[in-house]
């Protein structure tokens, strides 16, 4: 009976640790995506300014 009582107490930390790892990975992926979006936005804005004087980018 002692082993049966100790087994359920060991079960809850495993899913919480797994969920914590999943949330950590989700936060890392979202952070990386936001950084890439910001970098792309800055890059394409700079390219837009560079091309504005030339008249490219399909301007009428």
Mean pLDDT by 10 residues, the chain (60 residues): 53 68 95 96 82 59
What is the model's pLDDT at position 3?
56
What is the model's pLDDT at position 49?
73
Q: How far apart are the first and last CA of the chain?
A: 82
Which of these, 43, 44, 42, 41, lies nearest to 57 by C-alpha position? 44
Q: Is residue 57 part of a domain?
A: no
d(CA 37, CA 39): 5
Structural contact between residues 57 and 48, judged by C-beta atoms closer than 8 angstroms: yes
Q: Is residue 38 part of a domain?
A: yes
Q: Is residue 2 part of a domain?
A: no
What is the model's pLDDT at position 10?
52
Q: Which domain holds residue 34?
A: 16-51
What is the model's pLDDT at position 6?
52
Domain count of the fold of the chain: 1
Q: Is residue 1 part of a domain?
A: no
Q: Is residue 36 part of a domain?
A: yes
What is the model's pLDDT at position 9?
52
Alpha helical stretches, state H, the chain: 2-10, 13-52
């Amino acid at each position: 009976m002692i082993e049966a009582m100790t087994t359920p107490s060991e079960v809850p930390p495993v899913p919480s640790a797994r969920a914590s790892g999943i949330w950590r990975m989700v936060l890392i992926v979202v952070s990386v995506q936001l950084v890439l979006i910001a970098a792309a936005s800055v890059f394409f804005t700079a390219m837009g300014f560079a091309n504005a004087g030339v008249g490219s980018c399909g301007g009428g």
